[in-house]
Amino acid sequence: MGKNKNKKKVLVTGAAGFIGSHLVEILVAAGYEVRAMVRYTARQEVGALRFVEKEIMRSVEIVQGDIKSYDAVARAMEGVGLVFHLGALISIPYSYVSPEDTIATNILGTLNVLRAAQAAGVDRVVHTSTSETYGTAQYVPMDEKHPLQGQSPYSASKIGADKLAESFFRSFGLPVVTLRPFNSFGPRQSTRAVIPTIITQYLRGKELHLGNLTPTRDYTYVRDTAAAFLKAADAPSEVLGREINIGSNREISIGDIVGLVGKILGKKMEVVQDSSRLRPEASEVDRLYSDSFLASELLGWKSTISFEDGLRQMIDWISDHLCFYRSEGYDQ
């Protein structure tokens, strides 16, 4: 058991990311002492945390390191009672060109987090999965019994990470619960994702360069997603060892999002298919649609912000921060 463990002191890996930055805000507001682990850069960059209010960030301890290093993870976990593991390489296109980096970060990094948590005797690890582990829907809505399919190196790496979490629960009794968010969206999201790509191109008044418009996704506003992590930390012990979907129980196609953004902005623009944005045919996930019954039953969680309201908030935020978005190119 770790020494001087503080149950209100938490470690967030991947804190510089889109969801991670919102989770840091929610944790501070809930009275937790937050240690935020971000990947080291020479410029000491903190990613999406730069958009968090300075007053909040004054109470956040930033630790730079790489989750691929066990020593770095173990140092970051000293004195911590609760771990939120969000650190990962999440780009599917990048996983095609660099599967080694994706696997090392997502599988070895998760192994390091689990080992360090075991050694430190933390009270709970909330591990982050992804709906991409399911691949394209074999039935809908998709519950936690849906088969796993490695349709990209990224999804395969996350399947491996999830199974490691399961194995540490079964083998060593590590108190870990796995949340499986479907697609999150909201302020601070980069144009690696399709919704900010659509919004940014609309706002710049150019053609929309997109990939396949027919796939459907189940979108959850990011603050709702982050709230699920807090719920998972406080939930009864029956959640341990479980995998729990986090979704809105609604699907919408990329093409319909294009139309909805255009309606909100009062614009109509031509869509040009960009081959660089297309996945290999057998890798394309055509449909994701969550059954989030377990999240409701075990966590007392459900999404509260509608897709349309969240989209309006996202459009407003990107409009105010358009200088942070590239005008050309494709963010992987």
* Predicted confidence band of residue 93 (pLDDT cuts 50, 70, 90): very high
Residue 280: left (phi > 0), alpha (psi -120 to 50), or beta? beta
Query: What average pLDDT score do residues 212-225 get?
Result: 97
| Residue 203 belongs to domain with CATH number | 3.90.25.10
- The span from the CA of 144 to the CA of 293, in Å, is 10
CB-based contacts of 280, cutoff 8 Å, min separation 6: 96
Is pLDDT at 79 greater than 60 in this prediction?
yes
- 1, 19, 58, 187, 230 from 22: Cα distances, Å: 30, 5, 15, 9, 11
Q: Which domain holds residue 318?
A: 190-217+250-288+305-324
Q: Is 43 exposed, middle or buried (0-12, 13-18, 19+ CB in 10 A)?
A: exposed
Place of tokens 């959850």: 220
* Predicted confidence band of residue 4 (pLDDT cuts 50, 70, 90): low
Residues 161 and 69 in one domain: yes
Within-domain flag for 110: yes
Residues 153 and 176 in one domain: yes
> For 306-322, b where at least 16 C-beta lie within 10 A, e where not — what string?
ebeebbebbbebbeeee
Tens digit of each residue's pLDDT (9 = 90 or more) over 169-216:
999 999 999 999 999 999 999 998 999 999 999 999 878 999 999 999
Question: What's the confidence (pLDDT) of residue 205?
Answer: 86
Phi then psi for residue 98, to 5 deg, are -140, 65
Within-domain flag for 331: no
Question: What's the confidence (pLDDT) of residue 174?
Answer: 98
Residue 82's DSSP bridge partners are 10, 124
The answer to whether the CB of 194 falls within 8 A of the CB of 210 is yes
Residue 30 per-residue DSSP state: T
Within-domain flag for 81: yes
Task: Identify residue 284 by its one-letter amino acid code.
Answer: E
* Predicted confidence band of residue 330 (pLDDT cuts 50, 70, 90): very low
Within-domain flag for 299: no
Q: Which of 217, 135, 235 is nearest to 176 (CA)?
A: 235
- Total structural domains in the chain? 2
